[in-house]
Structure 1
Amino acid sequence: MSAPDTNIEKQTRWHRGPLIGMAVVVLFALGYGAYYLGNLAEEGNNPDNPDVIIDGRTGEAEEVQ
């Protein structure tokens, strides 16, 4: 059964604030996720201080001095 007295304009006013709040939270989460993925891509997966470096041309291991 539906509600006997529905006032669409009043319900629109009541729901405007929560809907805007949810949209702000979603936009913040998307922005933070993009920042996080960008930061991961920038830093990469390289070790900070490797003991051995592989020469890309020959494939031989070289000691770090």
Structure 2
Amino acid sequence: MSAPDTEIEKQSKRHSPLLIGMAIALTVAFIAGVIYLFGGFDPETDEATSAEPAANQQTLTD
């Protein structure tokens, strides 16, 4: 079955804000992904993953 009354121009006017919103959301997600992959963190200044605190711990001897 097909739709009884299809007006492409009217439907495109109704859907254009939604399509623009989806395009903006995809653009923001893409930019956030690029920032996360290439500039989200700097391993040299990240102290949480540094091995130095573990090396400075004293060992208990019996």
Give yes or no for TM over 0.5: yes
Unaligned runs of 5+ in 1: 53-65
Aligned 1:13-28 pairs, distance under 5 A: 13-28=13-28
Aligned 1:25-64 pairs, distance under 5 A: 25-40=25-40, 43-44=42-43, 47=50, 50=52, 51=55
Bigger relative contact order, structure 1 or 2, given CA contacts below 8 A and separation 6+?
1
**Alpha-carbon distance in structure 1 between the residues aligned to 2:29 and 2:43:** 22
TM-score, normalization: structure 2?
Answer: 0.67
CA RMSD of aligned residues (A): 2.2
Deviations 1:4-50 (A, max 9, x none): 1110000010010000000000000000111111234x513761x61
TM-score, normalization: structure 1?
Answer: 0.64
Unaligned runs of 5+ in 2: 57-62
Instruction: Quote the sequence identity (%).
Output: 40
- Which is strand-richer, 1 or 2? 1
Q: Stretches of 4+ moved more than 3 A in 1?
A: none
What is the count of residue pairs matched by the alignment?
Answer: 50
